[in-house]
Amino acid sequence: DAGVIQSPRHEVTEMGQEVTLRCKPISGHDYLFWYRQTMMRGLELLIYFNNNVPIDDSGMPEDRFSAKMPNASFSTLKIQPSEPRDSAVYFCASSSTVGFRSADTQYFGPGTRLTVL
Amino acid sequence: SQQGEEDPQALSIQEGENATMNCSYKTSINNLQWYRQNSGRGLVHLILIRSNEREKHSGRLRVTLDTSKKSSSLLITASRAADTASYFCAGASGGSYIPTFGRGTSLIVHP
């Protein structure tokens, strides 16, 4: 398996523009997570899905952020409109249910480095 | 709330020395995991220890868990320059077993 795939790897945009980040989880994994990493705040969980359904989006910073998972092999994180403070590395991760446990080891993608000017 | 606070924030050692990183957490956990992040890369899972385990080994890694003190430690023996990375602990609690990550320890191993 190729692992978790994210695109683009780097994104530079201007304030006010819409940004869409994409993620393909590992085949067969039923959990998908979106994280944001900054020096100031560390690694923050934004939202996670189970079987394509959003379970907890309490980490989404504000209404400008939205995430979808239309099928088991694809998810998007959208920021509209983008602001300079959204500059960060965004990671997608996936994991699978293990027995009765809901989620276990997470497999991270390489991340998307977003710069909003 | 964070289920993992690493200590120290930064650690600098010479190749061949052992590196010890500590993690404290606030509420009871089901398991605790350690991850490594090389610069510019995603996190990579290293080892998972369950709440009923006290110690676990994987190669040069040794993880301990003390549930009474709500703490864990990661020991890397005979460190190498390639071990230079940030190390994160992540505790999972509640019914969902979703891990919550700490801020990480930055380890530098000088050749």
CB-CB contact of B87 with B105 (8 Å): yes
**What's the mean pLDDT when you consider all of chain B?**
91
Sign of the alpha-carbon torsion through B43, A101, A44, A76: positive
Q: Which of B33, B44, B103 sits opposite A42 (nearest CB)?
A: B103
How far apart (Å, rounded) are the C-alpha atoms in residues B47 and A37? 21
User: Quick one: what percent of chain A has pLDDT higher than 90?
Assistant: 84
pLDDT number for residue B41: 92
In this prediction, residues B51-67 reach a mean pLDDT of 95
Q: Which of A42, A55, A104 sits opposite B104 (nearest CB)?
A: A42
Q: With bands split at pLDDT 50, 70 and 90, how would you rate the model's confidence at B1?
A: very low
Q: Which of A15, A6, A10 is closest to A86 using CA atoms? A: A15
Whether A103 and B103 lie within 8 Å, measured CB to CB: no
In this prediction, residues B41-63 reach a mean pLDDT of 94
Q: With bands split at pLDDT 50, 70 and 90, how would you rate the model's confidence at B5?
A: confident
Residue numbers in A near B101 (CB within 8 A)? 42-43, 45
